[in-house]
Every structure is written in structure tokens, then in C-alpha cells.
Amino acid sequence: MFGPFSHYVRPYRKRLLVGVVAIACSQVASALIPMQIAAAVDALESGASAAPLTTVRDRVAWVLVLAAFVAVGGFIMRRQMGVSSTWIEYDIRTTYFAHLLAQPLSFYQEHRTGDLMARATNDLTQVRIFFTYGLRGIAETALIFVFSVVMMCRIDWQLSLLVLIPLPLMSLFIIRMAAIVHTRFRAIQDFFGDISNFIQENLSGIRVVKAFVQGPAQTRVFDGLNQEYLERNASLIHTHAIYRPLSFLIASTGLGMNLWLGGEAVATGSLKIGEFVALNAYLTLLIRPVSYVGWIIDRSQRALVAMRRINEVLAIEPGISDRMVSAASVAPPECVSGRLQFEGVGFAYDDMAALQGVDLDLAAGTTLGIVGRVGSGKTTLARLIPRLIEPTAGRILLDGVPLDEWPLARLRQAIGYVAQTPFLFSDAVGANMGYAVEEATPDQIRQAAEEAQVRADVEEFEEGFDTVIGERGVTLSGGQKQRTTLARALLMRPEILILDDSLSAVDTETEEAILGHLRRIMAQRTTILIAHRISTLRDADHIIVLDEGCITEQGTHAELISAGGLYADLARRQQLAAELDEM
């Protein structure tokens, strides 16, 4: 019955079943009330003695008792289904978020952030509304219809079948409407993802929008998108506008037929007045659920479309994960020493090679410097080590074990990776520094900040380490952002530290102080320094030069300067630029 929802409904079947039973009891009681009214009317019609009045009082008492059943059943049903819908929404949202976090970087290059957010918010809202109201509506409508028809047939089955003739026409219309709603709402939700993505991109790039005075232009583009979204919604609204009055008309046709045919039956004496009143009461009861079917169809189709969009993402297996390791494989050692071996490593973005034939053996505790022109593959090489991306050729080993045989969480816990572009969360400075370490103490955070040469800056803030830095650290300078992300990595005390041009926004004096701390902290640990400034790399144990994805030079600083290649040329140009700045 639940199709794409089954996995999430299963844990709450008992609670939902209690809700359905409560609905059934409520609707049975509701279906019995017209019979009490009929008995009271027949008693009054029979004469003015005391007996009919006693019967009326008895029937009134029964109506009150049945109404109490309806109220209690309604309370239980709403509570059970309301709680279940909230937990179902919670489970779907948690699963969806965890699944997104498990995806590799390539997933986010192929999927737009705005669309992913739309599925997590707007689509999930449609699912919640269905389980909160739509599911209840399905049960209520089906049960009141069945019970009312049964009670009507007990009164006069021939007359009941005649007045219910319009309902099959309604069924045909319902089937057609469901298909239309599904198609049109799918188009609306897909386009809503486009709008969400457009908003997300403009807010993320608000500085660029303002710097190039593109606010009015972007507003015009957004207005076009909004207009298209409006037109698609108008098409769906048109379908709803037709259904509601038409369903009411068809249901009311049955009521009119009963007044005509039932009135004739009363006139001929084949139907009691009380029974006639009861039939009208049942038909009146049916008008609301029959007209409600359109809303139920709308909500169920919206929920189906939304859940299928969510499941489309959940069906994508993470491209990078822990893989099954054969019994013959070498088990990762208990402790990470930090030896890295690259054996014919290559990587390509689509058909464009970023790395080719990289062979390198980096001893544990060694500092490796990497330099090269823009786009030479430096960042790609760095991302391969924590398995943010996977090599398309060759393999990388850590302590003699292929990276993909290490448990992913354990591998990444051993690596402190400071990306080229610093990212900070909208939280306190101290919380950002302690992000990777559970229950980091204030002293540990201050120590890491000192090592990253950012403690003095933070302590100048009015609230110190409790200062909230805004989205993406917008209140910090470029250098402060870099040093804060460096402190975050240093607090981990990783066995391998990767700095991907992470000191480019700090001055040379601060850089010297940071590197001095790093030499002490990372002694006996593996460090990979990627930089454009030769001064950052000169003390590295080994330096490689990347050019068009290949290692073209390698050695110590002195050896590479003596070789007179690209490294020496870069050093000479930077030295000349420094001398010109001093003039």
C-alpha cells in the first residue's frame, strides 16, 4: 500500500494500526447516529403519548454516547497518526542528511545544492502533510463510505443503489485526475529545485553580485523563473478548481434523487419517514468525504512525487566507502606511522587528465613540499590521500596497506586536511576550532590557536573564543580564516597533516612563526605542504614539482635550485618580486 514509503512506515505500523482502529470505531459510531435520529422521528410520528417521548429521550442519550465515541476515537486517531507522521519525517530527514554526508565530492559536482535542499525541505514537507492529514483522510473517507452504504442498504437496498449511481462516474474522474496531478506536480517540484538552486547560488555569491552591480539583472532572471513556477502551479490549481465543485455536484445529485424517489416511497407507504430522514442523513455524510477525495488524491500524488524525488537521491550509492576486504588482504596496523606510497597514480576529470603516472615513496615523519603552476594537479594529489576522490589509475598505500582497505573513518581521523579555500561554520570561533575533536577543552583550543598564530586575534574579539563568526566566517579576514582552519587541524594531532596552500593569505613573518610551530608539533609525523611561495617549502625534506599532472622535478630545495628547472625559475621570480616590493 505504501510503496516508496514502506521502509519508513514499517517501524510505526502498530501505532498507525491503533489510529486506523480508532478511526473505524469513530466512523461506526458516526454511521449509527442517523439510525437513532430515524428511530426518534418514527416515534414522534407515531403519536403524542408519553411512550414516544421516552423513546426520543433514549435516542438522544444514544446520540450523545455515540458522539462521545466519535470524539474519543478522533482524539486517539489524531494523536497516533500525528506522532507517527512526525517520526516518519524525522527518520526520512535523518537518513537523507546522513546519505548526503556519505557522498564523495564528485556527487556535489553532478548535483545542484539548491535542488538537494529542496528535496530535504519542500519535498519532505509534502510527505509529512500526507501522513498527518492525507492518510487519515483516506481511512476516514473509505470507512465512512463503507459504513454509510451498508446502513443505507439495510434500510432500502434498491433505493440506495439508485441514489448511489452517480458515484461510479466520480471514480472514473478520480483516476484521470490522479494521473494529471502526478505529472503536473512532478514538473512543479523539479522546477522548484531550479529556483532553490538559483537563490542558493546568488546568496553564496552575494559579494560578486554586489561588486558587479548585478542585483537588478539577477532579479529579472529570478522573476522569469518565478513566473514559470507560477504558471505551472496555475495549471495544477485549474485541475483542483474543476474537481471540487464537480464532486459536490455529483454527490448532491444523489441527495436530490433520494428526495425525489424517497419522497415517492414515503408517499406510497413503502418507506417510513424516519428511514427517509436517515437516508438523507447518510447521503449528507457522504457529500463531505466524496468531495474530500480530490484533496486526498492531490496530497497522495504530491507525497508520491516528493518521496520518489527523495528516493532518487537515496538510491545513489556513495562512490567512496568502506569496501569488503578479502581474508588474504593485509589488515591495517593498529597505529598509523604515516608512510605514503604512490604507485603509478593517475586521475582524470571526465576525459581530462589531472595527474599521470605519479610514483612516490614518502617515509613516515617526512615533510613533503609540492609546488607547480596553477592547474598542475597539486590539489588533486592532496584530495586523493583522505579519499575525497579516488584515483582513476594506480594506487596509494598507507603504511603498506592500500587506502581503500583502510576503514574510511579511521583513515580520515589520521589525516588533518586544511583545504585551499577555508570553510568555517556559522558558530563560535572556538567551536570551529574544536569541530573535529569531541569534547575539546578550552585549554586545548587555546593551545591550537596559539600554534596557528591566531590566538591573539581571537582574544581581541569582544567575546573571545565564544564570538560567533557568521556564515562561512564572514566576519574574519582571509588570513584569520586560514589560521582558524589550521588550528582545527592541529587540534586533532593527526599522524598526517596536509596543508593545501593554506598559508597564502598570511604575511611572511606569521608564516615563519607557524612553520616553526609545525616543525615542532609534526616532528616524527608526516606533513605535506602545498604552496606557491618557495619560502614555505625550502625546509621540506623532499620537494616535488608538478607540471601538467606529472612530477617533472624532485629533490631538496638546494638540489632543485642547482638543477635550474621550473623550481629554480619560480624561486628567482619570487625573489625578484620581493626585492621590487622593498624598493
Q: Tell whether the model's pLDDT for residue 316 goes beyond 80.
A: yes
Cell triple for 316: 545513489
Buried b (16+ CB within 10 A) or exposed e, 517-539: ebeeebeebbbbbbbebbbbbbb
What are the structural domain ranges in the chain?
Answer: 3-314, 340-582
Q: How far apart are CA 142 and CA 293, in angstroms?
A: 10
187-206 pLDDT per residue, tens: 887 888 888 888 878 877 77
pLDDT band (50, 70, 90) for residue 119: confident
CATH topology (fold) of 3-314: ABC transporter transmembrane region fold (1.20.1560)
In this chain, the answer to whether the domains covering 3-314 and 340-582 adopt an identical fold is no
Distances (CA, A) of 307 to 2, 10, 85, 184, 188: 11, 16, 14, 15, 14
Mean pLDDT score, 497-516: 83
What pLDDT is attached to residue 329? 56
pLDDT band (50, 70, 90) for residue 498: very high
What pLDDT is attached to residue 496? 93
| Mean pLDDT for the chain overall | 84
Q: Tell whether the model's pLDDT for residue 441 goes beyond 60.
A: yes
Q: Tell whether the model's pLDDT for residue 396 goes beyond 80.
A: yes
Task: Find the range with the poorest average confidence among 91-105, 326-340, 378-392, 503-517.
Answer: 326-340
CATH topology (fold) of 340-582: Rossmann fold (3.40.50)
Burial class (CB in 10 A: 0-12, 13-18, 19+), 112: middle
Burial class (CB in 10 A: 0-12, 13-18, 19+), 410: exposed
What pLDDT is attached to residue 378? 92
Q: Which residues contact 360 (CB under 8 A, 6 or more apart)?
A: 340, 341, 342, 544, 551
Q: How far apart are CA 247 and CA 262, in angstroms?
A: 22
Across the beta sheet with 550-555, what order do the strands follow?
A: 415-418, 496-500, 526-530, 367-372, 542-547, 550-555
What pLDDT is attached to residue 203? 79
Mean pLDDT score, 273-294: 79
What pLDDT is attached to residue 52? 65
Q: Tell whether the model's pLDDT for residue 121 goes beyond 90.
A: no
97-117 pLDDT per residue, tens: 999 888 888 888 888 888 888
φ/ψ region of 85 (left if φ > 0, alpha if ψ in -120 to 50, else beta) reads: alpha
- 328 vs 367, residue with greater confidence: 367
C-alpha 541: how far from its chain's center?
A: 45
What pLDDT is attached to residue 545? 93
Q: Tell whether the model's pLDDT for residue 85 goes beyond 60.
A: yes
Q: Tell whether the model's pLDDT for residue 358 goes beyond 60.
A: yes
What pLDDT is attached to residue 446? 93
Q: Tell whether the model's pLDDT for residue 4 goes beyond 90.
A: no
Mean pLDDT score, 326-347: 79
What pLDDT is attached to residue 145? 83
Number of separate helices (H) and strands (E) present in the chain? 21, 10
Q: Tell whether the model's pLDDT for residue 14 goes beyond 70.
A: yes
The kind and range of the H/E element at 407 are: none
Q: How far apart are CA 242 and CA 387, in angstroms?
A: 55
Q: Tell whether the model's pLDDT for residue 49 goes beyond 70.
A: no
Burial class (CB in 10 A: 0-12, 13-18, 19+), 373: middle
Q: How many other CB atoms are found less than 10 A from the CB of residue 188?
A: 17
Buried b (16+ CB within 10 A) or exposed e, 21-59: ebbbbbbbbbbbbbbbbbbbbbbbeeeeeeebeebbeeb
pLDDT band (50, 70, 90) for residue 328: very low
The SS3 of residue 404 is helix
What pLDDT is attached to residue 527? 92
Taking the CA atoms of 215, 218, 220 and 226 in sequence, report the sign of the dihedral they define.
negative
